[in-house]
Chains A and B, each alone.
Chain A
């Protein structure tokens, strides 16, 4: 009998506690920035597409829900011709983000992706590409990679010596 009353009393006390339940969807949950939600493709600080279509995200994906095709612009900069994620298969494990050498693919704190039609869960590049750097600021892959692209010649990247004069024999 005592135990019963004690339980009721304790339950009653919760009336005065801070509320954990929020009025979703009127009120939005505050998610940590590392939350693994919807996947986006970001851009580098100069506004160029970060994705270089290296296929590592697709290879890392345990459910094989990423498909893409690489292509190049006339200056040699590589980018995906198409980039497709089938979110009806995605398990939001974040392996793709771990595998990405350019910080292009990122999982963001957004989970509101419900659809009535499963076909609408197939996201193409136009659905994925955002106009910003996402979680990782300031990184530009082509600034550290040795490949020459438009606007960055050989030897102009970070930690790169100017091109070798192959006609010189001086050490």
Chain B
């Protein structure tokens, strides 16, 4: 639709610019704040002009919060969550769309229902499971009387325990198990024309080959999108890592450890709060998601141009 509406164009641009400002000003503030000295940052008017202390503050933040190991932890967790999510979601959706098995729709709706249960809602039971991942199995054995039978036969009490606290597995698994990706892949697979499936069957293709040769190449754009979303989602997790790690030195993640840079009465000991260092820490922690978005965005664009239909 082509229309000449100069006034409307101006208004829409103004709205867009306003939105951009709302999104961008806080980022700019983080950047300027992280480049000022401690005196400058605590002087009353907020400065919008960057200073020359950026490197000093970055180094201070890096050392104080031990960001080296923390960033590595975050990276491991975010990459594993994003990859695991794609693997599980694409396979689950494959099963749901292309195979007819009993209770298929029931299973789909059960998965779908978990969309309404974000991690924060189910955090207590999730923690209970993470504390002993075998507890549900143990409960089944206890209730069914199998463990009693085992104890009777062998004379040994069966107590299973698999503790996920303070481990990468514990940080990763609960974040992988969500329905978003499954739903996304299911919807995508359902747009693939059934004739292509039939043509592939005529060409002698079995299910796994079809997944490898057709579905995976066709859903590359979806995978890139899901990877980006899940990477940022996992990177930004705060509550779950806080809960499941007590060994902050070994398993703390970057976003969580930012807290250590926030000046409080106990850290400053009544001295001047070092917001400049805290902001420098923010800057460092923001960077990896930004890089991922920048890299993946190039990929989206290429995917959109190459594949029509």
Partners in one complex: no
